[in-house]
Structure 1
Amino acid sequence: MHIYLIEDDLKLAKLIQLFLLKQGFTIDVFNSVADYKQHKATFIPALIICDVMLPDGNGFELFQQLSTEHTCPIIFLTALDSDQSHIKGLNLGAYDYLIKPLKPELLLAKINAILRQNDQTQQHDSTEHPLTLNQTKREAYFAGLPLNLNDSEFEIIAFLIKNAPHPVSREILFKQVIGRNYNGLDRAIDLKISRLRKKLTTLFSNQKSSITLDIKSVRSKGYCLDIINTKDNK
């Protein structure tokens, strides 16, 4: 499971990185807003830890971009021990607001609790929806059928369902999944979606399910999930 850590204190960032690596996580560390914005994605994060005070900005300002680009929980880590800052962070939509200095064991407990909570929320939100996501295990099921997605395919599905029923533009999906800004020519995201559509078509044709999942292209707007009830089409 992968974590992004955005923290300018190099010593603290290294300590957190080493500790979480020992707990079985993988982790990308960014020491500034610029570092994060210039990075090329290696893995898609299951959780993001973001410091509030950064040398070239702050986590509150960065939060909107993080939450737009990623579907995972975001928590703030800061030395600002004030009710006002705490309230602001939570009101933005962060899952938690942790005060430095923080014991590694407590950080780990918080991370595990948030990931469990996020999984339960995903499952609860989808009780009346045939598509179920498990963010921790990076697994997706449609009407109980495992979709067997790779990491980028899971992120495409997760991001589309997060924004459903509205379509998501190619530019946003490209940044979310590929990890860099869309230059107007690169067809990488279109290729991934094309392969994912073929995988879904093959899966449901073999299962002969009464409902199927597809990704629909909406002209001039992008892509959105399309749930088809084959019984209605007969």
Structure 2
Amino acid sequence: MLKVLVVDDDPNILELVSIQLTQAGYRVLKASNGFEALEIIEEESPDLAVVDVMMPGMDGYTLTKKIRTETEIPVLLLTAKGELEDKEKGFLAGSDDYVVKPFEPKELQFRINAILRRYDKAVDVFIQAGPLTINRQSYEVSVGNKVLLLPLKEFELLSVLASRPNTVFTRELLLERVWGYDYEGDEQTLNVHIKRVRGQLEKLTQAVRIATVRGVGYKLEVDSL
């Protein structure tokens, strides 16, 4: 399950964001200040950080600089300020996006999904999941001497799942990463593609398979050696 660190000294905002992201299928880590956030990052290695700008002790800009200097974790800044100068300061600190309070929790979720999708597009050419190798340059999926060529959407779907074996991806996140932010179809499209990829994987290996996590989404299960 993807982990999102939420850093805010306002307990109400912290709880609101945590509830929304938990319902969206993320594992939420919470910190009330920058120093606590850095400790959690070192221990948990979250996939993304949502950082409030106006915090005592260490403001969001400073925390963002530290995060981006020491890790590759993307950062979304959360603040009550909306002036261009403040946005510029946030991006110069290394943030990936900027959401102004008050905000719709759903919008925050969409922006987080978009950031994670952009980062997934920058993965290595080769993805290894157990005996499964995915070549994102030749679009080949292989196990040993067996090679499989998938239609583009099915290939992208498998690539996302294989990028983090045994991690649960929500249906909404998979639709956004594979079909795009503005996709207006329904989840049936995803279900059909998952079924097709499952069938193709069975031809290659029994050690890698797509599991359904009821009410949440899917994950690629990989048997340990």
The CA distance in 1 between the partners of 2:72 and 2:41, in whole Å, is 17
Q: How many residues end up aligned between the 2 structures?
A: 141
For 1:68, the equivalent position in structure 2 comes to 69
- Do residues 101 (structure 1) and 102 (structure 2) align? yes
For 1:50, the equivalent position in structure 2 comes to 51
Which residues of structure 1 form unaligned runs of 5+?
152-234
Letter in 2 for 1:12: I
Letter in 1 for 2:63: L
Give SS of 2:15's match.
helix
- Do residues 90 (structure 1) and 91 (structure 2) align? yes
Q: How does 1:192-231 map to 2 (within 5 A)?
A: none
For 1:115, the equivalent position in structure 2 comes to 116
The CA distance in 2 between the partners of 1:47 and 1:59, in whole Å, is 14
The CA distance in 2 between the partners of 1:133 and 1:79, in whole Å, is 42
- Cα separation, partners in 2 of 1:113 and 1:150, compared to 1, 3 Å: closer
Give SS of 1:76's match.
strand
**Contact 2:62–2:93, Cα closer than 8 Å, also in 1:** no
- Cα separation, partners in 2 of 1:40 and 1:91, compared to 1, 3 Å: closer
**Contact 1:78–1:98, Cα closer than 8 Å, also in 2:** yes
- How far residue 68 of structure 1 moved from its aligned partner, in angstroms, is 2.8
Identity of aligned residues (%): 25
**Contact 1:52–1:77, Cα closer than 8 Å, also in 2:** yes
- Cα separation, partners in 2 of 1:145 and 1:80, compared to 1, 3 Å: farther
- How far residue 149 of structure 1 moved from its aligned partner, in angstroms, is 8.0
- How far residue 92 of structure 1 moved from its aligned partner, in angstroms, is 2.4
**Contact 1:140–1:148, Cα closer than 8 Å, also in 2:** no
- How far residue 148 of structure 1 moved from its aligned partner, in angstroms, is 9.1
The CA distance in 1 between the partners of 2:142 and 2:34, in whole Å, is 40
Q: How does 1:7-86 map to 2 (within 5 A)?
A: 7-39=8-40, 41=42, 43-86=44-87
- Cα separation, partners in 2 of 1:149 and 1:24, compared to 1, 3 Å: closer
The CA distance in 2 between the partners of 1:50 and 1:149, in whole Å, is 24
- How far residue 18 of structure 1 moved from its aligned partner, in angstroms, is 1.1
- Cα separation, partners in 2 of 1:62 and 1:133, compared to 1, 3 Å: farther
The CA distance in 2 between the partners of 1:148 and 1:107, in whole Å, is 23
- Cα separation, partners in 2 of 1:114 and 1:133, compared to 1, 3 Å: farther
For 1:177, the equivalent position in structure 2 comes to none
The CA distance in 2 between the partners of 1:81 and 1:133, in whole Å, is 42
Could you list the per-position Cα deviations for residues 101-138 of structure 1 after superposition, in whole angstroms to 9, with x for gaps in the alignment?
Answer: 11011011111111111112x14xx4xxx55599xxxx
The CA distance in 1 between the partners of 2:86 and 2:105, in whole Å, is 22
Give SS of 1:27's match.
strand
**Contact 1:47–1:72, Cα closer than 8 Å, also in 2:** yes
- How far residue 77 of structure 1 moved from its aligned partner, in angstroms, is 0.4
- How far residue 43 of structure 1 moved from its aligned partner, in angstroms, is 3.1
Could you list the per-position Cα deviations for residues 14-59 of structure 1 after superposition, in whole angstroms to 9, with x for gaps in the alignment?
Answer: 0110111111100111111232244475532111111111021211
Which residues of structure 2 form unaligned runs of 5+?
144-161, 167-225
Give SS of 1:101's match.
coil
The CA distance in 1 between the partners of 2:82 and 2:33, in whole Å, is 21
The CA distance in 2 between the partners of 1:28 and 1:81, in whole Å, is 26
The CA distance in 2 between the partners of 1:97 and 1:87, in whole Å, is 10
